[in-house]
């Protein structure tokens, strides 16, 4: 143990399985929260239903390469992820992506498809210069002139725009929405632009629109205020090194990580005084089921729920049935996202014909995927590790509101589809003869914090949680998409638990 831990209020070893804090879920949010509690000497047990920790920051090995199977980068905003990596000794391993631009694959005329560079001066696809050459290449002169009307339309300063799709459609027209914004909202948030709250995906844009007098002007103001350089970074060797470092530090601090252990039920224990425990705070019983169906129970002074949305809501609902609306309201299930990761030998890809990758607009003929990442073109360390002529490409499938196009495919058929889509997007024919290794990864319940109405639901949940100082909920479903949202939120939740338990 490290840190100073007072003796009062700590459960005794005679109670069986005990912990000061139980963390349910070993994704990055759960691991970060656990580490924060361990750093001040609290005893922490982490329960993970899967066989491996990490959640959506996972990895797999293909053709001797350790590759990310989920998140492959993090947003630099706020600096929270960089600070965590520095603490874990990985600060020197942070890398920027290569400078190559991303592209768009769009429906063309006569039933064909076109591929154009993603406009440079845009935010979520919203252009700051509607008449720029790269904007006109995507939406044509007619779409560009309609978008320019945004500069001439009055902006209401009373009230706020709430819906991303609605404000883009109203201010700049449908071609900007369908051909620039929607491919990004689908690729980044797995959601339709009409389902995203503007403040959730573009904080500050409402105020910037009011200051500038237009949507495009507001985008220009936000881009001017942003720090120079790429808005994302990665880790040499892959994002899964963050998980490795967190697990190693948790082990060093004597934390307990149980994999294959599902938190089946959470009960409040109000008889702390009757049990001879010091203090009058509520205790918790976490009922655990392992991979072979064995059950046990852990008594804890505090619980941090860090599982995905559906199991988290189920646990919280069972223990707090009187919360009503925060948990009884509609919590929409997120779409399933499938990733095809393919390692290929093809020297024609050495020139990175589509830069770091491409986003595909809905309705684009000949392509089912919604996004492609040319990983060896995006990350120099990976290209160096793979060697000349060997390339790693990732394709993403699963659009919100649409039937799952890949769910009925077996792995062989899925690979055939992915190779076809990659060939169309990259402009380089690829076949099974090029494939060195491949993998299929499914991520379910990809619920975005930025979905319309989600912010109000989360605010209600957190208001209810504030009445239970020894119970917290963390993770992307409450904090927002991406590690830049998840990491600081998990730290804040853990600090509240620490302060309550240790009276710091």
Output the DSSP codes for 279-323.
S---EEEEEEEETTS-EEEEEEEEEEE-S-HHHHHHHHHHH-GGG
Token pair of 418 as six digits: 């992915």
Nearest by Cα to 210 from 197, 225, 221: 221
Token pair of 470 as six digits: 């020894």
| pLDDT for the residue 450 | 65
Token pair of 362 as six digits: 């809905």
**Bridge partners, residue 283, by sequence:** 269
Nearest by Cα to 427 from 351, 327, 324, 345: 351
Instruction: Tell me if residue 75 falls in helix, strand or coil.
Output: strand
Average pLDDT over residues 10-31: 79
Beta-carbon count within 10 A of 71 CB: 21
The bridge status of strand 256-259 relative to strand 371-374 is: unpaired
- Region of 116 on the Ramachandran plot (φ > 0 left; ψ -120 to 50 alpha; else beta): beta
| pLDDT for the residue 165 | 93
Average pLDDT over residues 174-203: 87
Nearest by Cα to 334 from 220, 481, 204: 481
- Indicate whether 8 pLDDT > 50: no
CATH fold for domain 118-225: protoporphyrinogen ix oxidase, domain 3 (1.10.3110)
| pLDDT for the residue 331 | 61
The residues, any chain, with a CB within 8 Å of residue 96's CB and separated by 6 or more, are: 229, 230, 233, 234
- Rounded to whole angstroms, the Cα distance separating 391 from 428 reads 12
- Rounded to whole angstroms, the Cα distance separating 241 from 235 reads 7
Token pair of 439 as six digits: 């993998």
| pLDDT for the residue 332 | 60
Token pair of 471 as six digits: 């119970």
Per-residue pLDDT band for 154 (boundaries 50, 70, 90) equals confident
Element (H, E) at 471: strand 471-473
| pLDDT for the residue 282 | 78
Q: Break the chain into its structural domains and give their ranges.
A: 13-56+238-332+449-502, 118-225, 335-443
Instruction: Tell me if residue 439 falls in helix, strand or coil.
Output: strand
Q: Which CATH number fits domain 335-443: 3.40.50.300, 3.90.660.20, 3.30.750.24, 3.40.50.2000?
A: 3.90.660.20
Per-residue pLDDT band for 403 (boundaries 50, 70, 90) equals low
- Rounded to whole angstroms, the Cα distance separating 409 from 415 reads 9
Q: What is the largest CA-CA distance in the chain?
A: 79
Residue of higher predicted confidence among 24 and 290: 24
What CATH number is given for 13-56+238-332+449-502 in this structure? 3.50.50.60
| pLDDT for the residue 6 | 37
Strand order in the sheet with 102-107: 113-117, 102-107, 357-360, 371-374, 390-397, 337-345, 435-443
Radius of gyration for the alpha carbons in the chain, expressed in angstroms and rounded:
24
DSSP annotation of 180: I
Token pair of 474 as six digits: 């963390």
Nearest by Cα to 38 from 312, 269, 261, 304: 304
Per-residue pLDDT band for 5 (boundaries 50, 70, 90) equals very low
Q: What is the mean pLDDT of the chain?
A: 87
DSSP annotation of 227: P
- Rounded to whole angstroms, the Cα distance separating 309 from 307 reads 7
Per-residue pLDDT band for 454 (boundaries 50, 70, 90) equals confident
| Percent above pLDDT 90 for the chain | 63
């Amino acid at each position: 143990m490290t840190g100073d831990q007072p003796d009062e209020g700590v459960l005794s070893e005679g109670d069986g399985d005990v912990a000061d804090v139980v963390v349910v879920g070993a994704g990055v949010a759960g691991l970060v929260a656990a580490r924060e509690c361990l750093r001040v000497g609290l005893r922490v047990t982490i329960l993970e239903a899967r066989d491996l920790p990490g959640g959506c920051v996972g990895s797999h090995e293909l053709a001797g390469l350790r590759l990310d199977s989920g998140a492959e980068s993090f947003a630099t905003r706020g600096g929270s992820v960089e600070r965590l990596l520095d603490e874990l000794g990985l600060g020197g391993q942070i890398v920027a992506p290569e400078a190559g631009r991303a592209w768009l694959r769009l429906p063309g005329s006569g039933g064909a498809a076109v591929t154009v560079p993603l406009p440079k001066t845009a935010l979520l696809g919203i252009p700051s210069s509607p008449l720029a050459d790269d904007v006109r290449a995507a939406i044509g002169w007619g779409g560009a002139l309609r978008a320019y009307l945004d500069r001439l339309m009055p902006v209401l300063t009373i009230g706020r725009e709430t819906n991303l799709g609605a404000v883009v459609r109203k201010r700049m027209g449908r071609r900007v929405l369908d051909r620039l914004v929607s491919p990004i909202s689908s690729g980044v948030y797995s959601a339709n632009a009409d389902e995203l709250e503007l403040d959730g995906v573009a904080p500050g844009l409402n105020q910037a629109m009011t200051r500038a007098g237009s949507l495009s002007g507001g985008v220009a103001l936000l881009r001017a205020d942003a720090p120079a350089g790429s808005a994302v970074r990665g880790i040499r060797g892959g994002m899964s090194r963050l998980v490795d470092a967190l697990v190693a530090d948790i082990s060093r601090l004597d934390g307990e990580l149980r994999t294959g252990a599902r938190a089946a039920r959470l009960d409040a224990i109000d008889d702390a005084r009757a049990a001879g425990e010091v203090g009058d705070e509520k205790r918790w019983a976490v009922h655990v089921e392992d991979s072979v169906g064995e059950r046990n129970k852990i008594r804890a002074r505090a619980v941090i729920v860090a599982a995905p949305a559906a199991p988290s809501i189920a646990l919280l609902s069972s223990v707090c049935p009187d919360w009503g609306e925060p948990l009884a309201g509609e919590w929409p299930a997120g779409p399933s996202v499938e990733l095809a990761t393919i390692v290929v030998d093809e020297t024609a890809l050495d020139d990175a014909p589509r830069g770091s990758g491409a986003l595909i607009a809905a309705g684009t003929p000949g392509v089912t995927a919604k996004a492609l990442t040319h990983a060896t073109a995006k990350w120099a360390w990976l290209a160096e590790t793979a060697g000349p002529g060997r390339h790693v490409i990732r394709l993403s499938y699963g659009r919100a509101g649409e039937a799952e196009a890949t769910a009925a495919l077996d792995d062989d058929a899925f690979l055939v589809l992915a190779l076809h889509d990659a060939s169309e997007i990259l402009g380089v024919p690829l076949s099974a003869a090029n494939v060195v290794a491949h993998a299929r990864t499914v991520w379910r319940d990809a619920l975005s914090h930025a979905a319309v109405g989600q912010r109000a639901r989360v605010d209600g949940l957190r208001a209810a949680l504030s009445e239970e100082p020894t119970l917290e909920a963390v993770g992307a479903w409450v904090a927002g998409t991406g590690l830049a949202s998840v990491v600081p939120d998990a730290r804040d939740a853990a600090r509240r638990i620490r302060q309550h338990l240790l009276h710091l």
